[in-house]
A and B are shown apart, each in its own frame.
Chain A
Amino acid sequence: MKSLIFRTITPVIVSVMVLFSIFVLLRGHNEPGGGFIGGLIAVAALSIYGIAFGVETVRRAIVFHPLSIAGAGLLLATLAGLLSMVFQVPFMTGLWVYPVVLGEEIPLSSVMAFDIGVYLVVVGAVTSIALSLEERGED
Chain B
Amino acid sequence: MNVTDLTFLALCLPFLGALAAPFLTRMLGHNAAWVLALIPAAIFVHFAGFAAGIAEGTAVTGGYTWVPSFDVRFSWLIDGLSLSFILLISGIGALIVLYAGGYLKGHPHQGRFFSFLLMFMGSMLGLVASDSFLMLFVFWELTSITSFLLIGFDHHREAARRAAFQALVVTGGGGLFLLAGLIVLWNISGVTQFSALASLGPMVKASPLYLAALLLVLGGAFTKSAQFPFHFWLPNAMEAPTPVSAYLHSATMVKAGVYLLMRLNPVLGGTPEWQLILPVFGAATLVIGALLAVRQTDLKLMLAYTTMSSLGLLVMLTGFGAPYAIEAAVLYLVAHSLFKGALFMVAGIIDHETGTRDVTRLGGLRSAMPLTFAIALAAAISMGGLPPFFGFLAKEEVYAALSSSDLRSIVFAVLAIIGNALMFAIAFAVALKPFVGKPVPTPRHAHEAPILLWLGPAVLALAGLAAAVLSGTVHAMISTPMASAIAGVPRVVAISLVPHIGVPLALSALTVVVGIALYIGLARVRAGVASALAWIGWGPDRGFDQAISGLVRLSFAITRRLQNGRLDSYMTMTFVAIAVVLLVPPFVFGELALAPVFPSIPLHELAIMIIAVIGLFAVVLAKDRLTAIVSLGIQGFSVAVIFLLYGAPDLAFTQFMIETLAVVILALVMTRLRLSPSDHRPFRQTLPDAAIALACGLGAGLLLLKVTQVPFDTALSDFFAQYSKTIAHGANIVNVIIVDFRGTDTLGEIAVVMIAGLAILSLVRLRAGSLRRIADNDPDAEEAGR
Contact = CB atoms under 8 A, between A and B. Distances in A.
A130 interface: yes
Contacts of B701: none
A132 B730 CA distance: 37
B735 A28 contact: yes
B739 A118 contact: yes
Interface string B742-785: 01101100110110111011001100000000000000000000
B738 interface: yes
Instruction: Summarize B's interface: helix, strand, loop or mixed.
Output: helix
A32 B649 contact: yes
Instruction: Summarize A's interface: helix, strand, loop or mixed.
Output: helix
Nearest to B738: A34
Nearest to A125: B757
A121 interface: yes
A33 B729 CA distance: 15
Interface string A85-120: 000000110101000000000010101001101100
A52 interface: no
B188 interface: no
B492 interface: no
B84 to A, nearest CB: 49
A49 interface: no
A96 B736 CA distance: 14
A37 interface: yes
Contacts of A136: 671-672
Contacts of B764: 129, 132-133
Interface stretch (A6-14, A39-47, A56-64): A39-47
Given A47-B664, A129-B761, A132-B765, A121 B750 contact: yes
Interface stretch (B145-153, B322-330, B429-437, B650-658): B650-658
B743 A81 contact: yes
B668 interface: yes
Interface string B654-685: 10011011001100110110000000000000
A77 interface: yes
A91 to B, nearest CB: 7
A74 interface: yes
B671 to A, nearest CB: 8
Contact of A132 (B736, B750, B760): B760
Which of B728, B753, B764, B765 has the most chain A CB atoms closer than 10 A to its own CB? B753
Which interface class (under 10, 10 to 19, 20 to 34, 35 or more) fits A? 35 or more
B732 interface: yes
Contacts of A128: 757, 760-761
B541 interface: no
Given A29-B735, A33-B650, A94-B728, A47 B757 contact: no
A96 B729 contact: yes
B650 A94 contact: no
Given A91-B744, A134-B668, A125 B753 contact: yes
Contacts of A33: 650, 653, 732, 735
Contacts of A115: 735, 739
B740 interface: yes
A28 B739 CA distance: 10
Given A29-B736, A34-B732, A125 B747 contact: no
A133 B764 CA distance: 7
Given A129-B665, A133-B764, A73 B650 contact: no
B577 interface: no
Contacts of B747: 77-78, 81, 92, 114
Given A94-B740, A115-B739, A34 B750 contact: no
B658 A132 contact: no
B687 interface: no
A77 B751 CA distance: 10
A115 B650 CA distance: 15
A67 interface: yes
Contact of B668 (A66, A81, A122, A130): A130
Given A29-B735, A32-B653, A34-B732, A70 B743 contact: no
Contacts of B750: 73-74, 77, 117-118, 121-122
Which of A41, A117, A118 has the most chain B CB atoms closer than 10 A to its own CB? A118
A24 B650 CA distance: 11
A106 to B, nearest CB: 13
Interface in B694-745: 728-732, 734-736, 738-740, 743-744
Interface string B283-325: 0000000000000000000000000000000000000000000
Given A34-B735, A74-B754, A40 B760 contact: no
B761 A118 contact: no
A117 B660 CA distance: 23
Contacts of B743: 81, 92, 111, 114
A92 to B, nearest CB: 4
Contacts of A121: 750, 753-754
B661 A43 contact: yes
A136 B731 CA distance: 45
Contacts of A122: 750, 753
A40 B640 CA distance: 15
A37 B653 contact: yes
A13 B188 CA distance: 73
Contact of A74 (B653, B731, B751): B751
A34 B734 CA distance: 9
Contact of A125 (B672, B735, B739, B754): B754
Contact of B757 (A28, A96, A117, A124): A124
A121 B753 CA distance: 7
A38 to B, nearest CB: 9
Contact of A44 (B661, B730, B758): B661
Given A73-B750, A117-B750, A67 B653 contact: no
A99 to B, nearest CB: 15
B731 A31 contact: yes
Contacts of B731: 29-31
B650 A111 contact: no
Which of B657, B664, B730 has the most chain A CB atoms closer than 10 A to its own CB? B657
Interface string B624-662: 000000000000000000000000011001100110110
A67 B664 contact: no
Contacts of B736: 29
A54 interface: no
B650 A40 contact: no
A52 B760 CA distance: 23
Contacts of B757: 66-67, 70, 124-126, 128-129
A126 B730 CA distance: 28
A31 B732 contact: yes
B743 to A, nearest CB: 4
Contact of A32 (B650, B668, B669): B650
Contacts of A30: 730-732
Given A34-B650, A78-B747, A134-B668, A111 B661 contact: no
A112 to B, nearest CB: 8
Given A130-B665, A133-B764, A37 B657 contact: yes
A80 to B, nearest CB: 9
Given A30-B730, A81-B744, A132-B761, 5 more contacts: A29-B730, A44-B657, A114-B739, A125-B753, A129-B764
The 3 residue pairs across chains A and B that have the minimum distance between CB atoms: A125-B757, A40-B657, A133-B668
Interface of A: 24, 28-37, 40-41, 43-44, 47, 66-67, 70-71, 73-74, 77-78, 81, 91-92, 94, 96, 107, 109, 111, 114-115, 117-118, 121-122, 124-126, 128-130, 132-134, 136
5 contacts: A30-B731, A35-B738, A67-B758, A81-B743, A128-B757
Interface of B: 649-650, 653-654, 657-658, 660-661, 664-665, 668-669, 671-672, 728-732, 734-736, 738-740, 743-744, 746-747, 750-751, 753-754, 756-758, 760-761, 764-765
